[in-house]
Chains A and B, each alone.
Chain A
Amino acid sequence: MSDFRALKDKVAVVGVGNTRYGNFPETDDYGLGADAFRDAVADCGIDKNEIDGLLVCRIPYYARMGEILGISPRWTIPLPPHGRMASMGIIEAVAALEAGLCKYVALIYANIGRSRRVNYGGEESPNIWDPWGYTSPGAAHAMMFQRHMALYGTTTEQLAEVSVAFRHNAGLNPDAVMRKPITIEDHENARPIVLPLRLLDYCLINDGAVCMILTTKERAKDLKKPPVMISGLGGREAFAHASLSNFERDFFYPQLQEIAAETYGMAGVGPSDIDAFMCYDNFSPTVLFSLEGLGFCGRGESGSFVEGGTLKVGGKLPTNTDGGHLSNSYMQGWALNVEAVRQLRGECGERQVPDCEVVQFIAATPCSRSIIYTRG
């Protein structure tokens, strides 16, 4: 097992920013990315010319982004437009900062999938299984959830608890895209997409951008906001069935178990210490698989674990307090990492988790990653 303990509390998030979320045909990836960058620079009070590291995700051309922002970094990484890239990118930035390759990294993500009508399936993502009509990442989650129901007796009503709780949380977030409360019945009656999944199991598709600024612990002391430390990290890929994009035959359980040992071991905390949980929710079943894999509940017990509002702000495990991808915004993991920072700073208003000291992000994907954030 890898051991990232040397990286514990070495790097801090010092600035976060985001655009509004919605449908913005009047601008593009660069315009949204620049707005999020401006917001994050203002948030941490840094001179933007100090930024010498640039990581971009879903931005067409990294150099054009740099030109627009008028920065000349000495470390640059472009990442492809996959949801799993957020925590992968943050961890790369931690390693680069700790290695001294750069001093301040800006991570910028932008998405124009709403205004440009991106479909996430069919001809846009050709695959070997197309002749049989198998496509879209949601189908992989439907496939896994069907099996989870058969093995463990999990029900769609239990799955609904995830979507209902995140919509509740979005209702406390004035910036969320979808805020109208929903019920378990609404979930059960929603339009079927790829059964057993229905519309309310699917993430939103909207435009927007997010920016995070990271630096080392020492440099973080001189900036405007209290630093939020990166205290735990873990990762493990699941490539064995990559042609079925997003599918793992065992619900990502083996990978998540390894990540739990690494991440909790490094941070010196366990699931019971997590004050707020940020769980990558491209499709609602991911949340159940994440809870089991990390050990918040036993194997096959996630359905009963989430019953009764466990994941709501005010519940036993406040999760995706901004509403997540299902109800806040489809920022592919990036907005959830920003929400983790804001919760630890106490900036979350009505949705603030009281005495929030430890926040965990998880993305259960073919490149699963977890990050534990704590107050500096």
Chain B
Amino acid sequence: MTAYDKPLPKIDTLTRPFWELAKDEKLAVQLCNDCGDRHFPASPVCPKCLSKDQGWEVVSGRGTLFSWVTFHRAYWNGFAKDLPYDVCLIELDEGPFFVSNLVDAGGEAAVGARVEVVFEPITDEITLPKFKLAT
């Protein structure tokens, strides 16, 4: 594998379960065991009730396209060869927002479009959840 030269996620106690599940091609959000609130990114306490009793819940991987943008500037050298590239903002069916890349959109991206997760291994450790238009 050639050296991966884009930014990698910072993995710590809080975020490790998310990346382990992603490696198994599962998309997860943090779930509060006290009040049932689902959220992402991971938070050390539940933003709704402040509970520390939290876990991870695998979600459907489906959502709607809230918006998207196309980067024409490489803020990191690693992205220069991908220009222009799309970044999408997904509202997951379970509630949380998730930023990702829209792959194979073929110019068909539209606010409100249905999308579903796909997984792209980038290193031995990391698999990035990305999204495509739902079929």
Q: Which residues of A contact B (CB under 8 A)?
A: 119, 121-123, 126, 128-136, 139, 142-144, 146-147, 150-151, 191-197, 241, 243-244, 249
B11 to chain A, nearest CB (A): 11
- A131 near B7 with CB under 8 A, answer yes
B6, B71, B89: the one within 8 Å of A194 (CB)? B71
- B87 near A134 with CB under 8 A, answer yes
A141 to chain B, nearest CB (A): 9
| Contact-residue bracket for chain B | 20 to 34
What residue in chain B is nearest A129 (Cβ atoms)? B99
What residue in chain A is nearest B87 (Cβ atoms)? A134
Q: Is B30 an interface residue (CB 8 A)?
A: no
- A196 near B110 with CB under 8 A, answer no
| CA distance in complex: A150, B67 (Å) | 9
B9, B67, B68, B76: the one within 8 Å of A128 (CB)? B9
Could you say which residues of chain B place their CB within 8 Å of the CB of A122? Answer: 75-76
- A150 near B112 with CB under 8 A, answer yes
What residue in chain B is nearest A142 (Cβ atoms)? B69
- A243 near B69 with CB under 8 A, answer no
Could you say which residues of chain B place their CB within 8 Å of the CB of A129? Answer: 87, 99
B66, B69, B126: the one within 8 Å of A196 (CB)? B69
| CA distance in complex: A142, B71 (Å) | 10
Could you say which residues of chain B place their CB within 8 Å of the CB of A136? Answer: 75
- B111 near A192 with CB under 8 A, answer no
Q: Is B60 an interface residue (CB 8 A)?
A: no
| CA distance in complex: A261, B76 (Å) | 43
Query: Provided the pairs A132-B128, A134-B87, A151-B111 are in contact, do residues A139 and B71 lie with their beta carbons within 8 angstroms?
Result: yes
| CA distance in complex: A255, B79 (Å) | 35
- A143 near B128 with CB under 8 A, answer no
A–B pairs, 21, beta carbons within 8 Å: A128-B10, A129-B87, A131-B9, A132-B100, A132-B101, A132-B130, A133-B85, A134-B87, A135-B75, A143-B89, A146-B67, A146-B69, A147-B67, A150-B110, A150-B111, A151-B111, A192-B70, A192-B84, A195-B72, A197-B69, A244-B99
B77 to chain A, nearest CB (A): 9
What residue in chain A is nearest B91 (Cβ atoms)? A249
Q: Is B121 an interface residue (CB 8 A)?
A: no
- B85 near A244 with CB under 8 A, answer no
- B75 near A119 with CB under 8 A, answer yes
Q: Which residues of B contact A (CB under 8 A)?
A: 6-10, 41, 66-73, 75-76, 79, 82, 84-85, 87, 89, 97, 99-101, 110-112, 122, 126, 128, 130
Query: Provided the pairs A123-B76, A131-B8, A146-B69 are in contact, do residues A195 and B128 lie with their beta carbons within 8 angstroms?
Result: no
Query: Provided the pairs A121-B75, A139-B87 are in contact, do residues A147 and B66 lie with their beta carbons within 8 angstroms?
Result: yes
A352 to chain B, nearest CB (A): 38
- B128 near A131 with CB under 8 A, answer yes
| CA distance in complex: A122, B75 (Å) | 5
Could you say which residues of chain A place their CB within 8 Å of the CB of B72? Answer: 191-195
- B66 near A249 with CB under 8 A, answer yes
| CA distance in complex: A135, B75 (Å) | 8
Could you say which residues of chain A place their CB within 8 Å of the CB of B76? Answer: 122-123, 130, 133, 135
- B87 near A132 with CB under 8 A, answer yes
What residue in chain B is nearest A146 (Cβ atoms)? B67
Of A132, A136, A150, A191, which is in contact with the most chain B CB atoms at under 10 Å from its CB? A132
Given contact pairs A121-B75, A131-B8, A135-B76, a sample of 7 additional A-B residue pairs in the complex whose CB atoms are under 8 Å apart: A126-B10, A132-B100, A133-B75, A143-B68, A143-B69, A144-B67, A191-B72
B87 to chain A, nearest CB (A): 5
B62 to chain A, nearest CB (A): 18
Query: Provided the pairs A128-B41, A131-B128, A150-B112 are in contact, do residues A143 and B75 lie with their beta carbons within 8 angstroms?
Result: no
Could you say which residues of chain A place their CB within 8 Å of the CB of B70? Answer: 192, 194-195
| CA distance in complex: A174, B132 (Å) | 51
B125 to chain A, nearest CB (A): 12
What residue in chain B is nearest A139 (Cβ atoms)? B69
| CA distance in complex: A194, B74 (Å) | 10
A214 to chain B, nearest CB (A): 36
- A133 near B82 with CB under 8 A, answer yes
B68 to chain A, nearest CB (A): 6
| CA distance in complex: A139, B71 (Å) | 8
- A195 near B100 with CB under 8 A, answer no
- B111 near A133 with CB under 8 A, answer no
A243 to chain B, nearest CB (A): 5
| CA distance in complex: A135, B69 (Å) | 11
- A244 near B89 with CB under 8 A, answer yes
| CA distance in complex: A355, B80 (Å) | 52
A130, A133, A195, A244: the one within 8 Å of B97 (CB)? A244
